[in-house]
Structure 1
Amino acid sequence: MQLDLFAVQLQEILQEAIYVLIDLAIKLAGATGLYFILFYLLRSLFRKFERDIALVTLNVSSYPVLAIFILIAFKVTIQNTVSLATVVWLEQLFIGGIIIAISYWSLQLFKQVLVYYLKEYAAITEVMWDDVLIPLLEGVIPSVIVLVGGSAVLQLCFGLDLTGAWLTLGGGAFVIGFAVKDILANFFSGIVLLLDSPFQFGDVLRIETESGTQLGILRKIGVRVTRFYMFETHTEVYIPNSVMQSQRLTNLSRPIEPVYFFTTIELTPKCDLEQARYVMQEIIQAHPDTLGDIETKLDCLERYYDWTNVADDFVAKKKNGKKRLLAENAVNEKLEEIEQSLEALIITLQFVEEGGLTQEEIETVQQEFNDVLELIGLTVLHQSVHRRPSFFNLKQVQSSFHLEETQDADSLIKLVRQWYRIWLRDPNVVDQDEYVLPEIWEHKIKLLKRRVQKLHQKIMNPLQEETRLDDYVKRLVEWLRDRFKQARSQWQEPQVRMEGVVHYEGYTYIQFILNYYVDDIRLEDGARGIRVNSDIHREIMRHLKEDCQSRGV
C-alpha cells in the first residue's frame, strides 16, 4: 500500500517536473525569440531611420523588457506548479523583481529618451516655460518613480500597510508647505512669469529699483528666482519671482531689438542753426552702429568720422562698418525677395483653394514653395512620395522628407552668417560678443528652418488643411518681419529737433534733441549705446566747433 502511494507521488512529481521543464523550454524559446527581435531585427530596422529616437528607445528598453519577460514567465510557471505555488516568498520575490525592472525601465526611458528630446525641442522653441519646466521635471519625476516603485515593493512583497505613512506624509507636506510659503509664492510666480511673460531670454530690461535704474539682460527665469546680468556692475543679480511680479520693468528689446537713445546739445544762436541741424543729422546717420537707410548711411559715412590722425581704431571701425552695412543690405534684399515670393504664393493659394486643390494645383503650389526654399538656402532630401485618390481629386502625400542647407552663397542663411561674421570683426566688440552674436543668429536660423519644415510638411500633405495653407504662409511672413529680422522703417531714422531756448550763466543757447536707435545694446557688455553717443558727440564737436560755440551735453 505504501509502495503504491509512493509510486503515485513519484509519478506526480515526475509529471510536474516534466511540465516545468517543457514550460521553461517554451518560455526559453520565447525569450530567445524576443532577444533576436530586440537585439537584431528591430535594431537593424531602426538604424535606417533618420532620427535616432527609435534606436535610443530600443537600446534603453531591450534589457528591461527581456528581464520583465523572463520574470513574468517564471512567475506564471510558479503559479501553475502545485508544489511551488504554496511558496509565498518565491512569488513575492518575482513580483518585487518585476516592479524593480519596470521602475528601472521607466526611469531610463524618462532620463535618456523623454528628457533628452524635450531639451532638444526646447532649444529650438521661442517660448521660455519649457526651459524651466524640463529641469523641474528632470528633478522631480525620477524621485516620484523611485517612491512609487519602492512603495509597491514594500506593500506587495513585504505586506506592509503604508496607509499611515501616506497620511503622515500628507500632514507633513501641509506643515512644510506652510513653513516654506515664501518659496512656494516664488515658485508659482515663476510659473506665471513663464506662461504669461512679457519678455524672453536675452532681452535687455530696464529695472527700476529704490537705488536707481539699471540695465540688465534676462538670463533665466528659475523655479524660485529670476537671474539678470547687470551691465554696469558686470555681476549677476537674482530677484525673487514674487518680487518680479510687482517690479516695474521696461523691455528695451520689444517690440524691436534696436534700442532708442536721445541726447541734447545746445548751440549759440549766432551759428547757422539749420545747417547745424542738417550736419548733426548726417553725423548720426553716418555712424555704422545707428539705424537708418543703408544707402544714406554709406553715403554719409564717406564724409564723416575721418579720424585718421586721432583714433586708428575708428579707421578700422569705418572700414568694417561699410562692409557690415553692405552685408546687411544684401540680407534685407534677400528677405524682401523671399517675402515677395511668399506673398505671391499666398495669392496662388487663395485662388486655387476654392473648391479643393487638384493634383495639378498641388504641384504648382509645391513648386512655388520649393523656389522659396531655394531662396532661403534649403533643399529637400530623402523625399519619398506616394499618391492616393480622394473622393474628388488625386492628392499627393508626403511620406518622409528632410530639409538640408544648400551651399548657395546667395541664399538667406549664407548671407546672414556672412553678415554677423563681418560684424564680429568690428573693433568695438568684446570677447563675449563672439559668442553672443552667433548664438542669437544661429538660434534664429534654427527657428526659421523649423518653421519652414512645418510649413513644407503641410504643403506636401494638403489634405484637410488645404483652405488654411494661405494662413500658414502669412504667419511665416509675419514671423520673418517681426522676429527674424526687422526691416529698417522710416520711423527709425535719426531725428534732430530744435526744442527750445536755454539760458545758462547769462548766455542764451538753442537746445537740440537728437533721437536715434542703436542696433544692438546687448553688445559690448551693454555699453554700446554709451560709446555710440560719445562718438556722435565727438564728431559733432569736431564739425561745429569753428562755426558754433556749444555748451555741450
Structure 2
Amino acid sequence: MLKVLQVLDSPSINFLLLIKNELSNFLGDLLIWTILAFILYIVVFYGTRSLFRRLNNEIGILTLNILQTPLPIIFILIFLKIAISNLESLEYLAIIQRLLTAAIILISTYLVSALFTQVVSYYLSQYAEKTEAEWDDVLVPIVKNTLPIIIFLIGSFLFLQTLGIDLTGLWVGFGGVTFVLGFALKDILSNFFSGLVLLIDTPFQFGDVVALKDGSTAVIKSVGIRLTTLYLIESHCDLFLPNAALESEKLINFSRPNPNYYYTITLPIRGDCDPNQAIKIIEEVVLSHPDTLGDLDKKLVAIENFYRVSDRLLDAQDNLLSKKEFGHKRLIAEQKLKIKLAEIKQAMKDLISKIQFLEKEGLDGGEIREIQGYYLDILIKVGFKVISEKPRGKKLLYLKESENMDEDTLISLLRSWYENWQEDPDIIEEDNEVLKVEFDRKIAFLKMRMDKFLQQIVNANNSFLETKLDDYGEELWKWMEDRFQIYAAWQHPKIWMNNVTIGRSGEGTIDLAVKFFIDNVKLEQCQRGNRIRSEVHGEIVRRLRQAYFYR
C-alpha cells in the first residue's frame, strides 16, 4: 500500500494528469472552434452567396469564389493556434505556434493578392470604363501588374521574420540594391513619372490625332509605364516614343477641341475669272460631300448636284448611287438629331431659369417636386425613364433607358444616326465596332450625368445643393452640347484668297485656300480624311475646269 501511494505521489503521475487536463481542454476548444467554423462557413458561403445572386452582385459572387478555399484554411489554422495554446507542457509549443503563424501569413498573402488581382482590379476596370478620364484607363493596368509584386514582397518579409530569420542584413542589402537600381534605371523612372504627368494633364486622349515635331501625323494608341505607342497614319506602323520625350515635345492636337478633322486645299484659278463664282462652285462641292461638315440644310440641297448619275465621268464608280442615297439618309438623320438637341436645349434653359427663380427664397418640398416634374419631361425627351424602388423602406430613384426605341427621343435618333452611318459604303468592317463603342460610351456617360443631376434635384433641400442646383444644370447642358452637337457654325467650309501672281505674259493666277472639316478621321484605318480630301479636291478641279476657271 505504501508503494502505491509513493507511485501516486511521484512527479510522473502529476505530469500525466497535467497532460490529460491540457489535452482535454485542447480537444474541447478544438470542438467548439470547429462548430463555429462550420456555422460561419455555411453563413458566409451559402447564405451570402444566395443574397448576392438575388442582388445580381457579380463582384460579391467573385469574392466568395476566391475566398472559398483559402479563408477556411486560414480559420482552421487560427483556431488550431488558439486551441494548441492550452498545451503549455508541449516541448516544441513555441516552434509550432511560429510555424502556424508563418503558414497563416503565407496563405493570407496569397489571398490578398488574389483578391486584388481578380476583385479589386475588376472593380477598378469597371470604374475606369464608366469615367470619362483617360488616366485611370492606364493607371489601372499599371497598378494591377505592380501591386501584387509589392504584396508578395511584404508577405515574404513577414513570413521570414515570423520564422525567426534575422532580416537586418537583408534590409540593408535591399536598400543598397534599391539605390543602385534607382540610379541605373533613372531614365525608366523618368519615363514612368512623365507618363503619369501626361495622364494627369491630359493633353490628349486615346484615339486623338496629333502632329509630331517632324511633321508626321499619328494617332495616340496607349500610354505605358515607359513608352507611349502612336500609330503613324502615313506609314501604317507603330511608333514607340519614350514618355519623357513626348512630354517635352510640342504637340499639335487635331482632335481638340472636338474630334472632327481640319483639312486645307490650295487651288490656283485664272486671274481673269470671277473669284466669287469660283468660290460658289467650290463651296457647293465641299458642302455636297456627305462626309464633310457644314450647314445641314445647305448640304441636303447641294448633295443632289454632287453625285449625278447621268455624269459620264462618274459612271465608273460602283458605289455612286448608294453613296448618294446613304449621304441623303444620314443627313436627314443628323437634321432630326439637331432639331431634338435644340428642343432639349430650350427645355434645359427653361428648367435652369425655373430653378433660379424658385431658389431665391429657398426650395420647399413642393417646389422640389415641381422641378422634378420639369426634369422628368426632359428625361423623356432624351429617352430615359425614372425607376423608383424602396429597399429597406428607403426610396431610391435611378434612370433606365426606355425600351421603346421607336419614340422620338434623343437616344433613338442618335442610334438611327449611327445605324445610317454604318451603311456608308466606304467604311470598313472594323469601323462598325468603333462607332458602336463610341455610341455606347456616349449613352453611358449621358445616363451617369443625368442620373447624378436627378439625385441632386431629389436632395435639393440640402442648403449647399440648393444654391448650386442651377450651376449643375448648366454644367449638364454644356456637356451634352459638347458631346452631341453635330457641328458648330465655325466649322462651316471657308474659302479665302491666299495670293495673286502676275506672269510675264500678263496672265494672272489667284490661289484660293479651301478649309473644311471631315466627320471622323479615325474611321477607315485613319485614312478617311485622305480619301475625302482626294474626292473633294478632284471634284473641285473637275468643276472649275468645266467653267474654265482652273489654272
Tell me if TM exceeds 0.5.
yes
Question: How do 1:372-521 and structure 2 match up within 5 A?
Answer: 372-381=378-387, 383-384=389-390, 398-399=395-396, 401=398, 403-409=400-406, 410-464=408-462, 465-482=465-482, 484-504=483-503, 506=505, 507-521=507-521
Structure 1 stretch displaced more, 103-112 or 38-47: 38-47
1:71 counterpart (68, 77, 83): 77
Secondary structure (helix, strand or coil) at the match of 2:212 reads strand
Question: How do 1:139-178 and structure 2 match up within 5 A?
Answer: 139-157=145-163, 159-178=164-183
Q: Verify the 8 A CA contact 1:520 1:528 in the aligned structure 2.
A: yes
Cα distance 1:89–1:476, how it changes in 2: closer, same or farther (>3 A)?
A: same
Cα distance in 2 for residues equivalent to 1:289 and 1:97? 66
Structure 1 stretch displaced more, 422-431 or 228-237: 422-431
Cα distance in 2 for residues equivalent to 1:361 and 1:385? 26
Match of 1:243 in 2: 245
What residue identity is the alignment partner of 1:189? S
Match of 2:545 in 1: 545
Cα distance in 1 for residues equivalent to 2:469 and 2:350? 13
Q: Verify the 8 A CA contact 2:261 2:519 in the aligned structure 1.
A: yes
Cα distance in 2 for residues equivalent to 1:532 and 1:15? 92
The answer on 1:359 being equivalent to 2:357 is no
Secondary structure (helix, strand or coil) at the match of 1:353 reads helix
What residue identity is the alignment partner of 1:248? K
The answer on 1:275 being equivalent to 2:260 is no
Cα distance 1:50–1:404, how it changes in 2: closer, same or farther (>3 A)?
A: farther
Q: Alpha carbon RMSD of aligned pairs, Å?
A: 2.3
TM, length-normalised to structure 2: 0.91
Match of 1:189 in 2: 194
Pick the structure with more helix per residue: 2
Question: Deviation at 1:72?
Answer: 1.5
Pick the structure with more strand per residue: 1
Cα distance in 2 for residues equivalent to 1:21 and 1:385? 45
Q: Verify the 8 A CA contact 1:316 1:427 in the aligned structure 2.
A: yes
Match of 1:122 in 2: 128
Match of 1:45 in 2: 51
Match of 1:225 in 2: 227
Cα distance in 2 for residues equivalent to 1:379 and 1:327? 23
Q: Verify the 8 A CA contact 2:384 2:399 in the aligned structure 1.
A: no
Cα distance 1:398–1:443, how it changes in 2: closer, same or farther (>3 A)?
A: same
Secondary structure (helix, strand or coil) at the match of 2:291 reads coil
The answer on 1:3 being equivalent to 2:8 is yes
Structure 1 stretch displaced more, 25-34 or 301-310: 301-310
Q: Verify the 8 A CA contact 1:270 1:548 in the aligned structure 2.
A: no
What residue identity is the alignment partner of 1:399? L
Cα distance in 1 for residues equivalent to 2:452 and 2:80? 48
Match of 1:394 in 2: none
Secondary structure (helix, strand or coil) at the match of 2:199 reads helix
Question: Deviation at 1:276?
Answer: 2.3
Cα distance in 2 for residues equivalent to 1:145 and 1:547? 75
Match of 2:212 in 1: 207
Cα distance 1:386–1:150, how it changes in 2: closer, same or farther (>3 A)?
A: closer
Stretches of structure 2 lacking an aligned partner (at least 5 in a row): 1-5
**Cα distance per residue 1:404-454 (max 9 Å; x no partner):** 443233222222222122112212223332232222222222222222222
Q: Verify the 8 A CA contact 2:210 2:219 in the aligned structure 1.
A: yes
Cα distance in 2 for residues equivalent to 1:85 and 1:76? 17
Cα distance 1:402–1:24, how it changes in 2: closer, same or farther (>3 A)?
A: farther
Secondary structure (helix, strand or coil) at the match of 1:517 reads strand
Cα distance in 1 for residues equivalent to 2:519 and 2:256? 13
Q: Verify the 8 A CA contact 2:77 2:100 in the aligned structure 1.
A: yes
Q: Verify the 8 A CA contact 2:388 2:395 in the aligned structure 1.
A: no
Cα distance in 2 for residues equivalent to 1:206 and 1:449? 34
Match of 1:368 in 2: 374
Cα distance in 2 for residues equivalent to 1:505 and 1:415? 59
Cα distance in 1 for residues equivalent to 2:280 and 2:360? 55
Secondary structure (helix, strand or coil) at the match of 2:460 reads coil
Q: Verify the 8 A CA contact 2:210 2:251 in the aligned structure 1.
A: yes
Cα distance in 2 for residues equivalent to 1:294 and 1:508? 36
Cα distance in 2 for residues equivalent to 1:125 and 1:524? 27
What residue identity is the alignment partner of 1:252? F
Cα distance in 1 for residues equivalent to 2:70 and 2:318? 67
1:131 counterpart (129, 137, 143): 137
Match of 2:89 in 1: 83
Cα distance in 2 for residues equivalent to 1:333 and 1:443? 22
Match of 2:218 in 1: 216
Stretches of structure 1 lacking an aligned partner (at least 5 in a row): 388-396
